[in-house]
Chains A and B, each alone.
Chain A
Amino acid sequence: MDFEWIKIPYALLTLFIVVNFGMLLGAFIQKIGARVGRRHGIPIWQNYADLIKNFGLRTSITHGVMFYLGPVFRLTGGIGLLLFVPTIYGSEMFSNLSFSGDLILALYFVFFGTLGMALGAGESGHPHAAIGISRGLSQVSMAELPFALAVFAVALQYQTLSVTDIVAAQQGGIANWTLFTNPVAVAAAMLGFLGSMMRPPFDVVIAPQEIPIGPPTEYHSSYLALMQTNRAIFPIAKIVIYMNLFFGGAASWPVFFLKVFLIYMVSVIVGVVFPRFRVEQSIRWFLVWAVPLGVLSIVLV
């Protein structure tokens, strides 16, 4: 297979669109959350100001090599997840590096960032970071389980491990979406989705009022800016996977924006309605509600 160099600027363009969309969407979602609390909320450009501010800080402190690499790994997780799945179905420009086994790689990348974060936060030596990361890892692993089960169910259903093929199988009408052909798997995956979006009720890990802010306790200036960039990319990348697997993918950017927003809103609506779970409560919740659904979806297929 010969590599087409034109893919690199295409990939960068995808990344550029997604970063900006992620920043604006993040602020917009926060505004929606604020309106629920009858506040005005942050300005829509707030995330840009925060990002520039953090890049513009004049001093920064390191705690060692892994401390540098933590945010880098995290960002790699987000970008890798985004680039190895087709962002826009059927578009040569925005299919990026998708290949026939990309589903497995995507599953790995979902977890990659958290692992990198664990190494970096561990190096910072702050006890809050260590506690936060152990809580975060246990919760994310638990949320990942129903998602992985649902993904296997979908892969069995379509007899392929390529995201592009799965999207292709769902074309031709809304009734062909996995949402309707395999609702149990989608239900299990959406419950897992709630857990991995780091929004209430499953955001105890990074909540400022808890063990202060959890894993990123020691992170500041440029390190934090990298992680903020990832906070913009990662939810979008994750939603892209969900969109491709369960909601028919997107064939153009407007459809993409709309679908991503609507899928994001699922976790937002749940988040503003329900209070926060503690870690052991959320793990129990996933075990009782989400995992059996995932098992059931595999059995049904």
Chain B
Amino acid sequence: MKPELLKRMVKGPDGVEFEVEPMRDYYCDAPPTVQHGAYIKIVEDFFNWARAESLWILGFGTGCGAIEMRPLMTPRFDAYRYGIQWRPTPRQANLLVISGYLSTKTLKRAIRAYEQMQSPKYVVGLGSCTINGGMYWDSYNTIKCLDQYMPVDLYITGCMPRPEALLAGFEDLKKLIRAGKAEGANQYAERFDWYKANQKQVIHDWDMPDYNW
């Protein structure tokens, strides 16, 4: 474990000594719980419509697929007209696009970003690397099957998928959300132990709490 993550005494700028334990202080160890929607169906449907029409993507590119995300903002493809926007912080985003191959080092960051997002949240796997490893199927350092580590709502195939394919994929995701079928966050909470076991199997230096809200 890195020395800055160890429990230790720190002297503040005002001269007061205090104890910090980074593994506890900034994180939460409470596992996620299953969140049910509104009890009245029409309200939940209304919320689902709003969720579908307002997809906020976390600006986090993991592999070469990130380069296919950028044209979506340009005049040629203009994803904004479909209610798709990019947010720079996981707190405000509700769609995590795993754009291409995911090395184990990045997987760690992706998990933390995913867990900091607020429910309901969605994951889209982009490109064949997230499905079966793609051209990195025999690589020593990339995961092969994204849905082992986080709940994936939708895969977009291709190496790389063109921006048009991404737009079509996002439209399909909207249909899933409107139908109330995109419940990845609850799936993650239900099978939390299974996901954690899979994650810890490939991340050998697990130096974070089990849940980072």
Contacts and interface: CB of A to CB of B under 8 A. Distances in A.
Contact of B81 (A43, A53, A219): A43
Contacts of A216: 92
Contacts of B91: 217-220
Interface string B43-63: 000110111011010010000
A53 B54 contact: yes
Interface residues of B, number: 33
Contacts of B22: none
Nearest to A221: B118
A208 B118 contact: no
A212 B36 CA distance: 31
B78 A58 contact: no
Contact of B53 (A46, A209, A219, A220): A46
Tell me which of A34, A59, A216, A221 has the highest count of chain B C-beta atoms within 10 A of its own C-beta: A59
Interface residues of A, number: 32
B194 interface: no
Interface in B79-116: 80-81, 83, 85-89, 91-92, 94
Interface string A207-233: 011001100111111001000000000
A104 B143 CA distance: 62
Contact of A58 (B50, B88, B119): B119
A59 B47 contact: no
B54 A224 contact: no
A208 B87 contact: yes
Nearest to A37: B75
A60 B213 CA distance: 10
Interface centre among B85, B92, B120 (most CB of A within 10 A): B92
Contacts of B35: 58-59
A61 B116 CA distance: 10
B75 A58 contact: no
